[in-house]
Structure 1
Amino acid sequence: MFKEIASKVTVERLRDITPYHRAKDRFEWEELPEDLRKQLIKDGEDYIDFIFVVLPAVRYMDFSRDGNRSRFEAVYFERRRALNALVLAECVEHEGRFMEQIINGVIAICEESGWQLPAHNNYPPQDDLLGLPNTKRPLLDLFACETGEQLAAVIYLLDDELNQESPLIRKRVSEEIETRIIQPYLNDYFRWMGGKGVPVNNWTPWCTQNVLLASMLPGMSTSLQKEMILKKAASSLDDFLDSYGEDGCCNEGVGYFRASGLCLFQAIEILNMATDDSFESIYQVSKIKNIAEYSMNMHIADSFYANFSDCSPTPGRSGVREFLYGKRTGNQELMQFAADDHRKETEITMKASENLYYRLQAAFTEQEIRDFDLKRPARTKDIYYDSVGILIARDEKLFLAVKAGCNDDSHNHNDTGSITVYKNGKPVLIDVGVETYSRKTFSEKRYEIWTMQSIYHNVVNFGGTGQLPGRDRKAVVDHVMLNDKTAEISMELSSCYLKGDIDRYTRTVTFDKGNQIKVVDQCSPKESEAVLTLMTLKKPEVLSNGDSGKKQLAVNDSVISIKDVKSLDTETIDLVDPKLQAEWGDRIYRTVIRLKDGRCTFYVE
């Protein structure tokens, strides 16, 4: 699709892109909402005395030494956020107050030995992790590409102003982008580029989007380079699109959708700007439209989204990019949803973002979102994403997400068959998510991490070992039903477990809307015991034991009734990881239910 269109674009039709307005376009910057202008200036003032400290080599080496990412990344990302804030503040105020710090930031980043993160500092095919950057062979990872975008955007916005200080600033930036972005992109190979039968994920549109921005902004590449970049980007985007099912589901979760589906959208936008809208017809392709509404379909309530794999339950509110994607695809519901969610966002300047283009785009879209008519709430729908095996259903009180699929998703957890339930927008049965990334997260020891294991998901396990990873460790879905009154999925899960532990495991989840969610587990374990795990944010309160083998638990506003119980115990999991603490607080709870005769029925109402 992309390659076919790109093949018809001649070099004469390619041009520099000029998105949004430069600092010298005073009318447009002064027309931004006044409260936004004030906050952008305030964000810059917060960094007026910021010191762009040297990034110590030994902090870069931390990851290869002990697996720690955060010590280096904290400094690396903060200097980029500082530069973004200073640039936007100068664009708004335009009095030169922030220029010296902007120059400091630009040159400091140009002086870095490598723009890639330590965790990504390896080259295919050997993939041996290097302790320090190889300055003779620049590496294109997510944030090297994003750094190229950032510096190109700084020059675009403040070209005249920086030239008054020194013409060598633009020259330095263009040389760095040529050496660190354009040349490795055209002459080296990285897996995220696709091709060669290599699986792709969010890296492909994320990196491609930023390479396009870094190279297509004015003065950063030649016409011939633009033509070669266009064709290579088109090939990568085709590979990415081919990796998705027709339903548009992202198997990495909403957080990664922001770095995949939304980056695909941005890449299309850039390609259109550079080619006189040659790629505009892509917005009418059904898969592109389906990808657009993914996050809306996964939304639960307030800041909560259904999460599987490494996705956070609170990946951030929807906003400008979703709104614009909805606009391009003619999806009024998505525009409605995104505008409504964006208005609940307290940080309207996106000051935590390292991507300067996102912040620029947000600033010049803010008024349009504020003016968008929200009288009619966006309508949500039930959906079954067959390509990934995710069922989403809701009524006025309850929200249900079921994960079928397999244990080979990108950023996979061994969670096939697990469910997530919310009531009145509050968590009842949760998916914990993932801790702060470390070297172990993406190593052969990944599944030693507790959050990755099925024994910490809402599913039955056997023998204490839990599910195993792999494409063959999958649910065999028997049937799915979705209508106004009922949502139901039935699946066989035995292949997800160690062969000697179980002969059969069937799980049927039935959502009787306006009433309850019913889960029936029927298992034939061999010698090991069948144990159901329920993960909750609040400690379950035992309401009554009822008759033999029956338990009732209260969790938030919900009551969970469980049959066929041999014993039930709840343990406290104290959260020490800062990421999980930010998402869930200091503790969560794991209820372990030993089953009678390998069967169990429980109801959530």
Structure 2
Amino acid sequence: MLIRRGALLDLWSHSEAADDAILAAPASDRVFWDGVDERTRLLIIGEADRLRDAAWPQPRLQDWSAYPRTGDRSAYEHALFLRNRRTRLAVLAAAIEPTEERLLEAADGLWLKVEQSTWCWPAHDDVFSRGLRVPDPRHPFVDLGAGEDVALLAWSTLLIGTELEQHAPGLRERLGHEARTCVLEPFVERAWHWEGDEGHVHNWAPWIHGNLLVAAVAFAAPPLRARVMDRCVDGLDRYLAQLPADGAIDEGFGYWWQGAGRAFDALAVLDTLTDGSVAAETRDGALAPLAELARFPQRMQVGPGWFASFSDAEARADEGTPWHVLHRAAMLCGLPEVAEFALAERAGREEPSLCGLDEGVHAGLGRMLAEISDLSSGVVPAQHPASAPPAAQPRAKDGVFLASIGVGIRERAGLTVVVKSGHNGENHNHNDLGSIAVAVDGIPLLPDLGRATYRAETFSDRRYELWNMRSDWHSTPLPRGAAQLPGAQWRAGAAVIDDGWRLDLTESYPGRERWIRTVRVTDAGISVRDESEVLADPATRIVVVCAGAPERAGDGVRVPGRAGARDLLLNFEAADVQFETVEVDDPYLRRSWGERVTRMLFAPASARMWEMRGEAR
């Protein structure tokens, strides 16, 4: 495991939490707030002013109840996230310029928050299982949404609580009452599924625990404060101890930010509360293995802005990705090359900006404050060079292989190849054993599609009816026409060889018939060799998924390049091939893969062995 179970608990038990620790500079600290760099200041003030005369977004009951009725969760979350975005911008603007007008705007957003019947997102609440179609304030449910909302209130109080008391007397007390009633007290009074156990890791845990640490500082007095903090530290310790020693995240690159990244956020809070004990133990102590966790995002890169997209991860880094979180983690762990990578990716955004300016949940107020602090101190450059996007990070000669999740990445001759083994019972699993993905010049052309918009079906027993989750829409074999099934009993072994990997897919399919896939990546290109008696079955197909629409090119297939990348030419031994193209309407899939994706279905003529080769042209 990544760290010894109890390592963080031991640190916490031997440290005295400072009651006067300052987690963020309050608005009264004019040296800090007057020193915010001009570009960041103008971004915040300008956007807050643009929103101030508009009506506040209002989540509706019909949007809340749409989740059990239609499976839609987006309409309610969209309105809620827009309102939270406006609130955090109003709070920051009030800290920068604590005028009455700005403080009253912030107070409006915070008052709307405490008037909400629930802070739980509809996809997580248990009211629907009790036959209700309205939130039940008598039985608060602590989920990601509740954690985000209580943290929004907590950071706001730490920033402008004194000023709010002057302009909206009683609001600060109300914020504290709702925080305790809706989140902190329910949290310590029952067990929550997302806290996991000693055998299962859950990415909600560090996200919620980190948020509740801040809420305890802002709103809880002894003994509640101690109960909340002790349980959060225990939860963070459990999460980190359950991660594998190689620092891999089975949910992929995109979920690093909301699991491991959230753990690093929480560790920064604990470091402040313990007067630097976390940093000391990370540099040379029981927390030193956290360095492997901080290396994961860089290891997953296939090109600037593009990453391996297995499970529910996305291939293309979102514009709102909070790269300063990785930069901070790298600095904590003493990894200058990872810190430089994070800064390069941040500078490579199409629109370099402050995190948290989008409406999503990449970054709440706490992450915005951390980035503002880093910008103001010069740790993160405020000005970005007007140059080409950052170059891809060079890989070690043998590439990357993370045995705990069965992911290998290797780069040669302008091709970056990702292979996936492991099992089909992973967190946010897709049925993808033995799959390959290929990027040319850093741009994925043979993709793992990753996630689509989340709906009720996404996390139900109908999950594997969704086409992008199924193995027949991954670049995998279909022995006798059979697709893979979900569950940890379906596995693929992997062995690293000199120039790639040998994958054993025998235990990946219901028939459990021998199938060996050998993937090689050399200066000559890529080769994928499948060996099995099952190749002789007329129903057997080998799937290769590509972005866009491929073209026949003599005896081969040409996959057109994208975004300036060269084409990928595929040559293969005798086989019939059919193309099936899907028009993409999902915004997540379309953002990465464009208007259409195609699967090529190869029917090999060979009885026992078939090989496909690829090269950039």
Q: Does the alignment reach a TM-score above 0.5?
A: yes
Superposition pairs for residues 10-21 of structure 1, below 5 Å? 10=16, 13-21=17-25
CA distance in 2: counterparts of 1:306 and 1:253, whole angstroms: 7
Q: State the distance in 2 between where 1:212 and 1:28 align.
A: 24
Q: Is the 8 A contact 1:282 1:288 kept in 2?
A: no
Runs of 4+ that moved beyond 6 A: 126-129, 371-377
Which structure 2 residue ranges, 5 or more long, are not aligned? 1-6
Structure 2 counterpart of 1:493, from 497, 501, 505? 505
Q: Report what 2:4 is aligned to.
A: none
Give SS of 1:570's match.
strand
Q: Does 1:239 align with 2:238?
A: yes
User: How far apart in 1 are the matches of 2:393 and 2:577?
Assistant: 41
Alpha-carbon RMSD: 2.3
Post-superposition Cα deviations, 1:282-331, rounded to whole Å, max 9, x if no partner, equal: 42434311001100111122221111011111132461111111111110
Select 1:391's aligned residue among 402, 408, 411. Answer: 408
Give distance in 2, aligned partners of 1:496 and 1:88.
Answer: 52
Instruction: Supply the distance in 2 between the matched residues of 1:371 and 1:421 (Cα, whole angstroms).
Output: 35
Alignment-derived partner of residue 10 in structure 2? 4
Distance 1:130 1:5, change over 3 A: farther
The SS at the match of 1:421 is strand
8 Å Cα contact 1:509-1:519 kept in structure 2: yes
Q: Within 2, Cα distance between the matches of 1:290 and 1:23?
A: 37
Change in Cα spacing, 1:171 to 1:306, as seen in structure 2 (3 Å) is same
Amino acid at match of 1:21: A
SS at match of 2:461: coil
> In the alignment, residue 8 of structure 1 is paired with which amino acid?
H
- What amino acid is the match of 1:590? R
- 8 Å CA contact 1:68–1:438 kept in 2: the answer is yes
1:376–1:449 CA distance, 2 compared to 1 (3 A): closer
Please list, as runs of the form range in 1=range in 2, the aligned pairs for 1:144-159 lying within 5 A after superposition: 144-159=146-161
Q: 1:82 is matched by which residue type in structure 2? A: R
2:361 is aligned with 1:361: no
Amino acid at match of 1:603: R
Matched ranges for 1:507-586 at <5 A: 507-512=517-522, 514-525=523-534, 527=537, 529-545=539-555, 551-556=556-561, 557-586=566-595
**Amino acid in structure 1 at the alignment position of 2:403:** D
Query: Contact 2:88/2:365 (CA < 8 Å) preserved in 1?
Result: yes
Structure 2 partner of 1:279? 278
Q: Work out the percentage of aligned pairs sharing the same amino acid.
A: 25
Separation (CA, whole Å) in 2 of partners of 1:129 and 1:289:
47
Q: Who is 2:216 aligned against?
A: 215
Q: 1:53 to 1:553 in 2, by over 3 A?
A: closer
Is 2:420–2:434's contact at 8 Å kept on the other side of the alignment?
A: yes
The 8 Å contact of residues 216 and 229 in structure 2, kept in 1 or not, is answered as no
Q: Does 2:136 correspond to 1:134?
A: yes
Q: Paired residue for 2:104, among 89, 100, 103?
A: 100
Identify the residue that residue 261 of structure 2 maps to in structure 1. 262
Which of 272, 287, 290 is residue 288 of structure 1 equivalent to?
A: 290
Q: Decide which of 449, 452, 465 is 1:432's aligned counterpart.
A: 449
Tell me if 1:370 matches 2:381.
yes
Shift of 1:92: 2.3
Task: Measure, in 2, the Cα distance between the counterparts of 1:444 and 1:528.
Answer: 31
Moved more, 70-79 or 366-375: 366-375
* 2: CA distance, partners of 1:438 / 1:552: 35
Is residue 441 of structure 2 the alignment partner of residue 405 of structure 1? Answer: no
Alpha-carbon distance in 2 for matches of 1:376, 1:419:
23
Q: Match of 1:139, as an amino acid? A: F
Question: Match of 2:3?
Answer: none
Counterpart of 2:528 in 1: which secondary structure? strand
Query: Residue type of the partner of 1:269?
Result: A
Q: C-alpha offsets along residues 422-449 of structure 1, whole Å, 9 cap, x if unaligned?
A: 1112222111112100000000010000
Counterpart contact for 1:202–1:260, Cα < 8 Å: yes
Q: Match for residue 180 of structure 2?
A: 178
8 Å CA contact 2:57, 2:80 repeated in 1: no
How many Å separate the matches in 2 of 1:405 and 1:79? 41
Q: Secondary structure at the match of 2:232?
A: helix
2:456 and 2:269 map into 1 onto residues whose CA distance is 34
Report the TM-score when normalising by structure 1. Answer: 0.92
CA shift, 1:55, in A, is 2.6
Q: Could you give the per-residue CA deviations for residues 164-221 of structure 1, whole angstroms, max 9, x where no partner exists?
A: 11221100100011111210111121112233x562321111111111111123xx11
Which SS does the other structure have where 2:223 is aligned? helix
Instruction: Tell me by how many angstroms 1:371 deviates.
Output: 7.6
Given that 2:580 and 2:598 are in contact with CA atoms closer than 8 Å, whether structure 1 keeps it comes out as yes
Distance 1:388 1:102 in 2: 44
Deviation at 1:559, TM superposition (A): 3.4
| TM-score, L = length of structure 2 | 0.90
- Shifted more, 256-265 versus 338-347: the winner is 338-347
TM-aligned CA deviation for residue 223 of structure 1: 3.5
* d(CA) in 2 for partners of 1:85, 1:287: 36
CA contact (8 A) 1:349 1:359 kept: yes
Letter in 1 for 2:519: V
Match of 2:476, as an amino acid? V
Task: Tell me what 2:223 maps to.
Answer: 224
Give a deviation string over 1:525-577, Cα, whole Å, max 9, x none: 285622111111132121112xxxxx343432233333333311212210122
